[in-house]
A and B are shown apart, each in its own frame.
Chain A
Amino acid sequence: WFILLLVGLAAADSEPFKERQFEYFITNQNLHVDKLAHDLHELEEEFSKYSHDVDDKTVRLLKHRVHNLEGPHCPEHFSECGGLVPQCISDLFFCDGQKDCKNGGDESPQICSEAATHVGSSYTGIATWSGCEESAPHYAVVTITASERKDFFQSYVWVRGVLSFEVDEHIHTVKSYPLRGFYNFGSHVLLMGPERGTKPVYGARCKFNMGDFDHAECEIVNPESLHVCAHFFADRY
């Protein structure tokens, strides 16, 4: 009867034992998955130590700098259509509603964006003077205060703006010059001279040649001779 008792006990015990065994396997699997996750995490960390991908902005900037160095293929007052097949058309034909480029590049929304002339746009950079003004490098700002695009002549945007820069660091004297001028879609140039009735002291010329409307190469010039007094690389604020 002793054996009988054992069998009885075993029969009574077998249910919880199986459950525990099952739980044991589950735990085991979980531990295994945890280890895999840990390994993966370590691998990810290892991977993140390598340098990041180059962002599109840097690539675009580099491409445009190379492009600028390649020089203009077009004669004066002409600009490129873009695209794979080079073609030049007059600056006056850009964004006028009529496709003049073979690939229609002169009417593409990217080229014809008015972003550069949006009222309130400010282009700021540290100006280095090579003449006209004797001062150490300081901030100069070109701000657009008004813009108008005439229906019957769409390839220019007429703008008004202000050029200002700090002349004295200690008492923060700021010189301001009201300007007016235009932006041309083909050449991406914002060209401004003195406002009507003001003294012809300075003009500003900004080239948006970095592939976007947030960066420009600006110059403070003499309005008559276009002699460059100062230049600055401008960011939009």
Chain B
Amino acid sequence: MLRLFVFLCLAVTCCFAAEGHQFCCSAEDRHIVEEQWEHLWGDTESSKIKIQFGRIILLKLAEAHPDVKPLFANVDIEHPEGGKFSAHTFRILNALDLAINLLDDPESLDEALNHLADQHKVRAGVKKVHFQKIGEILHESLAHVLNEYNSLSWKSCFKGILGKIASKLHD
């Protein structure tokens, strides 16, 4: 047990020490994430799943951090079943999908995440803790919807993805 703990600590420090390096979200990790993510989108009606999934994530976030609710005011979070909010959750899930599918190409992924970071920078009130919470919600819910979920791989990759999107925020 102690050994496992030491190993995990080591792995985490490795990830912090050398971000984007081979150990953190390695090539194999990326392939695993892509393969497991792929399982969700077998159906032609994938947009419904995306909207539903995104809605759950955002509502859970709003539940945990009530201060994000006003941030989603102009996409009408008051009516989560409405078209405006559905379109927004669809947009978010598609961005997530884009990021995951770009894992194979680190340079393009970097640019895409950079763009997303810019988009979040101009929204005043968005905080780093929100992204941390989104990460937690994401892992929790993905473990529920995916038959195969390698949490180590997902965590090591999403630490990087969410970290980069939140990198231009001040607090």
Contact = CB atoms under 8 A, between A and B. Distances in A.
Interface in A107-150: 129, 131-136
Interface string B75-115: 00000000000000000000000000001111000000000
B28 interface: yes
Interface residues of B, number: 10
B27 interface: yes
Contacts, number: 18
B28 A132 contact: yes
B33 to A, nearest CB: 12
B30 interface: yes
B152 to A, nearest CB: 16
A129 B22 CA distance: 13
Interface in A191-227: none
- Do most interface residues of chain A lie in helix, strand or loop, or is the interface mixed? loop
B27 A133 contact: yes
A129 B31 CA distance: 12
Contacts of B31: 131
A129 B106 CA distance: 14
A105 to B, nearest CB: 42
Contacts of B103: 134
A129 B104 CA distance: 11
A51 to B, nearest CB: 42
A136 B27 CA distance: 11
Give the residue among A131, A132, A133, A134 with the most B Cβ atoms within 10 A: A134
Interface string B11-54: 00000000000100011101100000000000000000000000
Contacts of B104: 134
A79 to B, nearest CB: 34
B69 to A, nearest CB: 38
Contacts of A131: 27-28, 31
A69 B28 CA distance: 30
A13 to B, nearest CB: 97
Given A132-B27, A136-B105, 12 more contacts: A129-B27, A131-B27, A131-B28, A132-B22, A132-B26, A132-B28, A133-B22, A133-B27, A134-B26, A134-B30, A134-B106, A135-B106
18 contacts: A129-B27, A131-B27, A131-B28, A131-B31, A132-B22, A132-B26, A132-B27, A132-B28, A133-B22, A133-B27, A134-B26, A134-B27, A134-B30, A134-B103, A134-B104, A134-B106, A135-B106, A136-B105
